[in-house]
Amino acid sequence: MTDTFDPLRSDSPLIVYVDFKSPYAYLAKDPTYALERDFGIAIDWRPLTLDIPSYLGSAKLGADGRVAQSDRTPQQWSGVKYAYMDVRRYASLRGITARGTVKIWDSSLAGIGMEWAKQQSRAILRGYIDRVYERFWKRELDIEDPRVIEAVLVEAGADVGAFAAYHTGAGRVRHNELQQRIFDAGVFGVPSYVIDGELFFGREHLPMVRWLLGGRRGPAPDVAYRHFGADATT
């Protein structure tokens, strides 16, 4: 199954890589759905399980909400603190709750659940993605617990009869193998958009992605966190 997988190619005109533990990917979710709606396309949603400590250090909060353990440099902390502040200001404008996480989660199981949902139907995939993101960022979901992930799949309408065997067997093997190939292909962060083999990292590229999907009409746009209405053309 994995032999035909190409990290930068798909039958869909657009690949989107997301990770449930990334608040930036969460913010990008709905504007990305808008591309599906506006262009009538089926986006190829793929999980990318970030290994955050490898590039941003690690940290864990104690019960009192203070940092209990950390190997981050001051520069890494500056970047992380700014990122969370930035996420919260955009999230609050859209009524999205994005509480800071207490640790760096292993989101691989949630990603395997996403692949499982994707195999069933697009509606189930969307139902799963929406539920996991919303609840995880409200700190209501333990995405490392297989029973929790299975329950969300059920809520999204998925048949989970064989999910336990999948996530401990073929699904885990596939996940681990594909993650390495995705990373080796140069996809290092989320959200990442791949169109015609070209990689765009971050939702600020949505104007460019939209322009490319729309046939490059008009001048090429710059990066921007821009609002898109149903009739947006930029």
Partner 1 sequence: MSEAVFEMVGDTPTVCIDFKNPKSYLALAPTFALEDSLRLRFDWLPVSVSPLTRPSARQPNEDRGTQHRRMRAEYYERDFRRYARVYGLELGDLYRNPDTSLACIGLLFAKRADDGAVRRYLQLSFGRYWKGQIDIEDDRAVASVLDDAGVATNSWKGFASGAGRDECERIGRTLREGGVFDVPAYIVAGDVFFGRQHLPMIEWLLTGKRGEPPL
Site residues (vs partner 1, CB under 8 A) = 27, 30-31, 51, 54-55, 75, 78-79, 82, 86, 89-90, 93-94, 183, 186, 188-189, 199-204, 206, 219-229
CA distances from 136 to 3, 74, 148, 219 (A): 32, 27, 11, 39
Cα 36 from Cα 95, distance rounded (Å): 22
Cα 190 from Cα 147, distance rounded (Å): 26
| CB of residue 112 to partner 1, shortest distance in Å | 20
For 180, the token pair is 């390495």
| CB of residue 153 to partner 1, shortest distance in Å | 28
For 64, the token pair is 């009192």
- Kindly tell me which of 129 and 149 has the beta carbon lying closer to partner 1: 129
| CB of residue 82 to partner 1, shortest distance in Å | 7
- Kindly tell me which of 31 and 171 has the beta carbon lying closer to partner 1: 31
- Kindly tell me which of 159 and 198 has the beta carbon lying closer to partner 1: 198
Is residue 220 within 8 Å of 208, Cβ to Cβ? yes
| CB of residue 64 to partner 1, shortest distance in Å | 25
- Kindly tell me which of 26 and 116 has the beta carbon lying closer to partner 1: 26
Is residue 200 within 8 Å of 209, Cβ to Cβ? yes
- Kindly tell me which of 28 and 129 has the beta carbon lying closer to partner 1: 28
Q: From the CB of residue 19, how many other CB atoms can be counted at a distance below 10 Å?
A: 23
| CB of residue 178 to partner 1, shortest distance in Å | 16
